[in-house]
Amino acid sequence: MSGTLYMAGQHLRFFKVRSAILVLGLTLTIALPVASHLIISKYGDALKSRADSTPYVLGMRGNRFDLVLKALYFGDAQIDAITMEDVNQVDRSDWATTIALHLQHTAKGRPIVGVSETYFDFRKLSAHHPNIRMELGDVVAGAVVAEELNLSVGDRILSDRQTLYDITGQNPVNLKIIGVLKPTGTADDRVLFATLETVWLLDGLMHGHPNAKHAGTEDPHRQGIAYHEVTPENRSSFHLHAYPAEIPVSAAIVIPKSEKGATILEARYENKESLQLQNCAQVVDEILSMVVQIKTFFDAYYLFVLIATLLFVGLIVALSTQLRKPELDTIRHIGASRWFTVRLQATELLMIVAMAGVLSLAVTFIGLQIADHFLLVG
């Protein structure tokens, strides 16, 4: 090992605390902007990719961001429901096909998404267990939900009670896991899928109960007797208590059959008072442009922090050179060149920068993992 490298290493080792503070300071200065840039890029790419593959979303007129985020990424925003009739109208127009979505309920805190059967094909979702065919009372778990809740095919999961203190509210339903989806790295991993009918069951719009004669009562509705689990034996007893036209859905994905169809539908819904048809890519672009504006602010902030940190490092080097003058004079007196002492200090600085670089990579990597786990919703 060369003299400068060895002596620089010994110097950093001996003054551990000072070295550690410098390394940590530089690490934060490097890692924060890099990690935030990567996370925002990844977040943006994930949002964009899902938006690009989803042409339009139909929903109740209101905040377009909430509607798109809810329909694409199953976010927490509350949106008003539309009806199945609204969705069927689009289907009947023959300009587009639709996939209805209904998100009102959760099970162990994870969203239960009621979907039309075509949703899995549309999103190219496949399960570990082949031939998934959801029936009433069945759910298919996303990969992350299954892993986190340790769910497998055949297990049951109880839907969450929506209003804890409302004893007249709908009771939780025991749902059966009939499949676990392969991981996709998208929002589909973090939800439970069910049929629309199953979600209506959770809404209280459907229920099943024993035949009046079997129950020994004249009116089982009045008695409040209802099944809380769908089984092959009682499945046929479930029925809907609502007019089909009034059945609610949160939103619908609209897939135009042609450009012409898309244009006509856009025009048709542009002035509708109660409904809105949103182009997902445009809405997500708007969201991302806002994120980019905020990011620009942070980039400027990080730049100032970087400049300030570099000035501080320069100050520390200058002060350190002054403090070390006797040491450096001794080294030169013994026979080292001025270049050797410059090299010695430069090597120390480079080692600190290198350690900060490596640590920054680690911090960035961990940051990305955490972001993957908690933030990414693509």
Partner 1 sequence: MIQFTNVEFTYPDHTFGLTIQNLSIIDGERVAIVGPSGSGKTTLVKLMSGALIQQRGTIISCDTKLTNLNDRALRQFRLKRIGFVFQEFALLDYLNVRDNILLPCRLGAEPMSPEARDRAEALARSVGLHRHLDRYPQKLSFGERQRVAICRAIVTSPSIVLADEPTGNLDGTTADEVISILDDCVQQSGATLIVVTHNLELTNRFDRTIDVSEFAAAYT
Residue 278 CB contacts under 8 Å (≥ 6 apart), including other chains: 56, 57, 59, 64, 67, 68
Report, in Å, the least distance between residue 316 CB and partner 1. Answer: 16
For partner 1, the closer of residues 154 and 335 by Cβ is 335
For partner 1, the closer of residues 11 and 123 by Cβ is 11
Report, in Å, the least distance between residue 328 CB and partner 1. Answer: 10
Catalog residues that contact partner 1 under the rule CB under 8 A.
Answer: 3, 6-7, 10-11, 13-15, 326-327, 330-331, 333-337, 340
Integer distance in angstroms from the first to the last C-alpha of the chain?
49
For partner 1, the closer of residues 54 and 341 by Cβ is 341
Report, in Å, the least distance between residue 366 CB and partner 1. Answer: 32
Report, in Å, the least distance between residue 296 CB and partner 1. Answer: 44
Report, in Å, the least distance between residue 20 CB and partner 1. Answer: 15
Report, in Å, the least distance between residue 341 CB and partner 1. Answer: 10
For partner 1, the closer of residues 1 and 164 by Cβ is 1
For partner 1, the closer of residues 77 and 350 by Cβ is 350
For partner 1, the closer of residues 117 and 327 by Cβ is 327
